[in-house]
């Protein structure tokens, strides 16, 4: 079975801190995605990557950056966390055109 | 990007079939129709996908309209464990892999 692992289930950070959310997949998938999920807004795509060192902006990239130095790892970076970035963050991976496999999410609270 | 429209919520009785509709009137000829579901406190999981023909797997069936402007996910015999949010999305068969989820349909199963 494909496994997508997000490093933390819950995270609490202070406003202005630099935050790293890590995601690792074990199926050699080319594509990786970061979404955030908020009540009433569904899942919104922040960034995605289709290869090592490649990235594309999603629908809401402002305030975020990403890093993909190795195929199995995709990191989401909040350069200076703000309270409006309090959310559930979901990572996913997929082969090209194939089904997405999601992690269980990281619930980030910024105080 | 082609969009999908789903009802916000639906209810169904346990052990009865459930038909979850999705409209995608701007679908292009090479878009695949994917369905995912999200159980409480988990990331979304893949359910089924199709292009033109109806599809069946162990989880569900997917019925696709002849003009492809709508589709229906069919759960043949709903159980309490099928209570979840169901998402219908379109996935291009070429080019940009940007995948947008909407707010989905929250399915409640009545015992």
B-chain CB neighbours of A74 within 8 Å are: none
For residues A28 and A97, give the distance between their C-alpha atoms in angstroms, rounded to a whole number.
14
Report the chain B residue with the minimal C-alpha distance to residue A99.
B46
How is A51-93 classified by DSSP, letter by letter?
STT--EE-S--TT-EEEEEETTEEEEEESS--GGG-EEEEEEE
Between A and B, how many residue pairs show a Cβ–Cβ distance under 8 A? 54
Task: State the pLDDT at residue B30.
Answer: 85
Residues with Cβ within 8 Å of residue A61, at least 6 apart in sequence:
A46, A47
Residue from the list A31, A35, A102 with its beta carbon closest to the beta carbon of B97? A31
Region B60-80: what's the mean pLDDT?
Answer: 96
Torsion of CA B21, B22, B25, B30, to 10 degrees: -120
Share of chain A above pLDDT 90, in %: 84
- Average pLDDT, stretch A23-46? 93
- Residue B1: which pLDDT band, with cuts at 50, 70 and 90? low
Residues of chain B neighbouring A4 (CB-CB closer than 8 A): 43
Q: Exposed, middle or buried: residue B77 (CB in 10 Å: 0-12, 13-18, 19+)? A: exposed
pLDDT class of A40 with cuts at 50, 70, 90? confident
Closest-CA residue to B22 (of B73, B66, B82, B91)? B73
Does residue A96 register a pLDDT over 90? no
How confident is residue B96, by pLDDT bands cut at 50, 70 and 90?
low
């Amino acid at each position: 079975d494909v496994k997508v692992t997000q490093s933390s289930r819950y995270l609490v950070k202070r406003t202005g801190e630099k935050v790293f959310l890590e995601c690792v997949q074990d199926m050699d998938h080319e594509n990786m995605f970061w979404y955030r999920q908020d009540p009433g807004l569904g899942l919104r795509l922040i960034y995605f990557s289709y290869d090592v060192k490649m990235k594309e902006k999603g629908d809401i990239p402002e305030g975020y950056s990403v890093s993909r130095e190795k195929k199995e790892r995709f990191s989401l970076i909040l350069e200076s966390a703000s309270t409006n970035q309090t959310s559930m963050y979901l990572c996913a991976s997929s082969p090209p055109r194939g089904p997405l496999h999601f992690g269980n999410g990281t619930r980030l609270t910024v105080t | 990007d082609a969009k999908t429209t789903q009802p916000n919520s639906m209810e169904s009785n346990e052990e009865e079939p459930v038909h979850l509709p999705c409209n995608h009137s701007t679908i292009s000829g090479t878009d695949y129709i994917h369905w995912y579901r999200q159980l409480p406190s988990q990331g979304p999981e893949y359910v089924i996908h199709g292009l033109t023909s109806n599809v069946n797997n162990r989880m569900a069936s997917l019925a696709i309209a002849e003009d492809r402007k709508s589709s229906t996910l069919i759960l043949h015999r709903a159980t309490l464990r099928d209570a979840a949010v169901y998402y219908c999305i379109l996935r291009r068969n070429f080019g940009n892999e940007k995948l947008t989820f909407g707010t989905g349909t929250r399915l409640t199963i009545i015992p």
